[in-house]
Amino acid sequence: MPYLDHAATTPLREEALDAMLPWLREEYGNASSQHGPGRRARVAVENARKAVAAVLGCEPAEVLFTSGGTEADNAALRGALGPLAPEARTGLVTSAAEHDAILRTAEAWREAGHAVAVVPPLASGAADPEGLAAATSETTGLVSAMLVNNEVGAVSDITRIAADAHRAGALVHTDAVQAPGLLPLAVDALGVDLLSLSAHKVNGPKGIGALFVRAGTAFAPSVHGGAQERGRRGGTENVAAIVGFATALTLAEQEREETYARLSRLRQRLAAQIRAALPEAVFNTADATEGESPSSPEASGALDPQNAIPTAPHILSVSFPPGPHGPLDGEMILLGLDLAGVHASAGSACTSGALTPSHVLLAMGVPRETAAATVRFSLGRTTTEADIDAASSALAAVVRRARGV
């Protein structure tokens, strides 16, 4: 049964589970306690923090553990723009193709009386550097742009966005939740001041994430009630989840080039099969039909500050325009795939159940009726060629049946 929804969540890898088990069983100490079990838990948390920092190329003190990517995004915006921000610098600039964790927080920030600019993305779904720069003013405190779009896989030129924002006197945040194990995450190369991660997108446990906060950045606590995380996020640390996260992230970074090449080949195989079986298909993932993807992010120029690769290799978003009998029902397509044993999604898992088409696709200019008939396939470390072949065959059958063919 092909599972092709890795952008929503990934299976917990055995190494992460093995690292977690001692902290779920015999080592149950509170990391804030001063006795032996507490001190051992504190050592485990700080070793995990060092491991995450090593992947990001930052200092351990700059890593703040959260409950996941959504909290990390919320904390980034509210922490950087909150009571410790310069009074004249509380404005936010972001892209219309961001995750809802950013867009809904931006709405709340606007309702609280602050300036918020939401800029249309490029046609690929990537954040528009020129548009973001044009919207940044002397009142802008933070520019937030996603590194890898979670619905179409577009990679934004964060290095350029950061440089433009810094010239204007603003801080920069990137939601990098979809990037670990696929793209380099060195925060100095990216030029960002804040960066969000989530463990369950990289074969770690659910309920844990991290936020990089560059040293010297004025940052208000996201959760009050304790001195944990150097006073930036109160609450007892989830030691087991933190250890599992660090293990999964470290292994993903070690395997990054191999993973990138393998998923690129699999995605191209899937795109080619869909194109052959369903020529009317519209690919929302920009480079999915343009030959082989680069073998690694380094080969594509992702480490060059002047370049960003077109898309990450694990996401393929495909839509189907209306036919002679009218528009297709996207929910029925997904249900048909599920009944065939193929597990995919329409887009972000955080907006599943919504009856409206993806805000990302609409912002990219995809017609509403076409956007409403969309499938997002997302690949991961357990994906095989057999999964790809089964998925493309099932999709062809479901769409042809929906069209009455």
DSSP for 38-87 reads: HHHHHHHHHHHHHHHHHHHTS-GGGEEEESSHHHHHHHHHHHHHSTTS-T
Look up residue 137 and give its two tokens: 């003013």
Evaluate whether 211 touches 195 at the Cβ level (below 8 Å). Answer: yes
Phi/psi class of residue 316: alpha, beta or left (left: φ > 0; alpha: ψ in -120 to 50)? beta
* Options 278, 350, 362, 390, the catalytic residue: 350
Cα–chain center distance at 292: 23
Rounded-to-integer distance, Cα 10 and Cα 202, Å: 6
Q: Where are the alpha helices (DSSP H) in 278-318?
A: 297-300
- DSSP lists the bridge partners of residue 171 as 142
As given in the structure block, the two tokens for residue 389 are 């072949």
- Reduced to 3 states, what is the DSSP secondary structure of residue 154? strand
Is residue 58 annotated as part of the catalytic site, yes or no? no
CB 184 within 8 A of CB 195: no
**Residue 108 DSSP class:** H
Helices (H), 57-177: 69-81, 100-111, 129-135, 158-167
Residues 6 or more apart whose CB falls under 8 angstroms from that of 145 comprise 94, 95, 98, 127, 132, 156, 158, 161, 172, 173, 174, 175
Closest CA relative to residue 267, chosen from 310, 301, 304: 310
Q: Residue 341 and residue 363: Cα distance in Å, rounded?
A: 31
Give catalytic residue positions.
350
